[in-house]
């Protein structure tokens, strides 16, 4: 009998070492090495590779070719009924892609994927679950499947969805070879185990080997695969960091479990933009797409309140109007507090320094609190102008009209800098009924041709073009 081979793996980054180490030389973490048994058989080609055009990879000899000799045609994407998911993926599911979805426990990852499987009756989808039984999945499917009206038949909803409760990759690939699905969903990658590795499911070596087998299957059969992944207490996807490098797309499902809205954000995407996001509403009957996020991010208030402004931001290609709130009060302690929710605290300190230096507002002994409503985090510098106006509105206790919005970046010298895609921001504000918007005058047409310059001829909203922060306060507060 061959001797059992073991190695030590870092549970943080997946670094392999022949002996135990106190500190990982790769990521610098302490006490993260765990011994795992590694025993790989000689059979390097799994049985499922026979479904790839009837030939195994051993019969194909790859050779180097010139990039000019490679023939390329536009890849046909699979469009799903979920428009939010299509947007985040870059226009649909790419055949042969490997997509990883991570998120907090109970946030709705399994519900999102099962809802996707049930909503595509024309496709044959295999839902592999290593965490729930088939009866549990049936209960969830009954809950999120819309019931027919007037007691009619259930129709074709869920007709192409096949459920498999299995954790062995060898058995999963046997079922795949028999079924030949159009899409495979694995819930979750941490529960799978391969017979090629003698270690427990969820370990670094098992996660890496199972992902590699699924990756080879996806690329050779052109079948898209969705993987659901767990996350650690730090918010990172559990397992080795190489897991995120191996897959084509990494999606993060975010949101507060005590609120109804969920955000699907692309962290990595080889087939599209990594700055897109989709917004869902968690209901008793599943996840509902939010087609117009501006309406849920803006609160409906009857009276004018100080410290509240509306800013026009962009997430990928989607314009959104968000409510930015500020509270300025006299500090009761020696050191004033600075706190920001959904916004970078260092950038907030920069805005406060500009307001004090360039405009003369004394904020050094004031507590300042900023909040971006809706539970989202914004890094777009175009909300600088709206935040500065909210801070001064709270400081002077003078409300700003709820029909006014802002889109401009604030420079260190107090100038209002131009922002990109200003036309989309103005169009979104006009569509939601706003009466005026403050923008930088450098977005206006001039003698030179510039992609950021604006054509004012087809807008019905009043556009206030300003160049300095002092002009904004003069127009707002007189």
User: Residues annotated in the binding site for ATP, as ranges?
Assistant: 103-110
Distance CA 404, CA 335 (A): 34
5-10 and 33-38 as β-strands: parallel, antiparallel, unpaired? antiparallel
Q: What are phi and psi of 239, to 5 degrees?
A: 105, -175
CA neighbor of 264 nearest in space, from 223, 295, 228, 225: 228
Distance CA 385, CA 469 (A): 8
Packing angle, helices 469-477 and 345-358, rounded to 10: 80
What sign does the dihedral 48-53-59-61 (CA atoms) show? negative
Which residues carry a binding-site annotation?
103-110
Q: What are phi and psi of 42, to 5 degrees?
A: -75, -25
What are 73-77's contacts with CB under 8 Å, separation 24+?
A: 75/271
């Amino acid at each position: 009998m061959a001797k059992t081979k073991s190695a030590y793996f870092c549970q943080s980054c997946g670094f392999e070492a022949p002996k135990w180490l106190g500190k990982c030389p790769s990521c610098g973490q302490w006490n993260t090495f765990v011994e795992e048994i590694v025993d790989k058989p000689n059979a390097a080609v799994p049985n499922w590779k026979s479904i790839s055009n009837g030939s195994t990879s051993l019969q194909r000899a790859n050779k180097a070719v010139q990039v000019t000799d490679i023939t390329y045609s536009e890849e046909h994407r699979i469009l799903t009924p979920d428009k939010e998911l299509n947007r985040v993926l870059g226009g649909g599911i790419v055949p042969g892609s490997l997509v990883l979805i991570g998120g907090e426990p109970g946030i709705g990852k399994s519900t999102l994927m099962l809802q996707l499987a049930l909503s595509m009756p024309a496709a044959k989808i295999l839902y592999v679950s290593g965490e729930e039984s088939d009866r549990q999945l049936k209960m969830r499917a009954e809950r999120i499947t819309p019931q027919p009206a007037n007691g009619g038949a259930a129709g074709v909803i869920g007709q192409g969805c096949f459920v498999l409760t299995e954790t062995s990759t060898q058995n999963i690939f046997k079922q795949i070879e028999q079924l030949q699905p159009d899409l495979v969903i694995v819930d979750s990658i941490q529960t799978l185990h391969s017979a090629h590795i003698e270690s427990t499911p969820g370990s670094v070596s098992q996660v890496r080997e199972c992902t590699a087998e699924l990756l080879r299957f996806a690329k050779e059969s052109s079948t898209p695969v969705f993987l659901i992944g767990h996350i650690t207490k730090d918010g990172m996807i559990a397992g080795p960091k190489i897991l995120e490098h191996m897959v084509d797309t990494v999606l993060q499902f975010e949101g507060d479990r005590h609120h109804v809205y969920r955000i699907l954000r692309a962290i990595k995407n080889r087939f599209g933009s990594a700055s897109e996001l989709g917004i869902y509403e968690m209901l008793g009957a599943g996840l509902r797409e939010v087609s117009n996020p501006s309406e849920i991010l803006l609160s409906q208030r009857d009276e004018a309140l100080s410290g509240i402004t509306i800013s026009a931001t962009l997430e990928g290609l989607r314009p959104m109007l968000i409510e930015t709130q500020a509270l300025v009060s006299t500090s009761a302690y020696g050191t004033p507090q600075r706190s920001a929710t959904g916004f970078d605290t260092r950038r907030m300190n920069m805005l406060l320094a500009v307001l004090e230096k360039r405009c003369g507002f004394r904020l050094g002994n004031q507590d300042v609190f900023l909040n971006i409503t809706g539970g989202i985090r914004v890094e777009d510098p175009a909300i600088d102008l709206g935040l500065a106006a909210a801070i001064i509105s709270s400081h002077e206790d003078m409300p700003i009209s709820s029909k006014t919005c802002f889109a401009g970046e604030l420079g260190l010298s107090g100038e209002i800098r131009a922002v990109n895609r200003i036309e989309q921001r103005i169009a979104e504000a006009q569509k939601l009924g706003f009466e005026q918007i403050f923008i930088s005058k450098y977005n206006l047409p001039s003698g030179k041709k510039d992609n950021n310059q604006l054509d004012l001829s087809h807008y019905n909203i009043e556009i206030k073009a300003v160049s300095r922060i002092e002009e904004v306060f003069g127009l707002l507060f007189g």
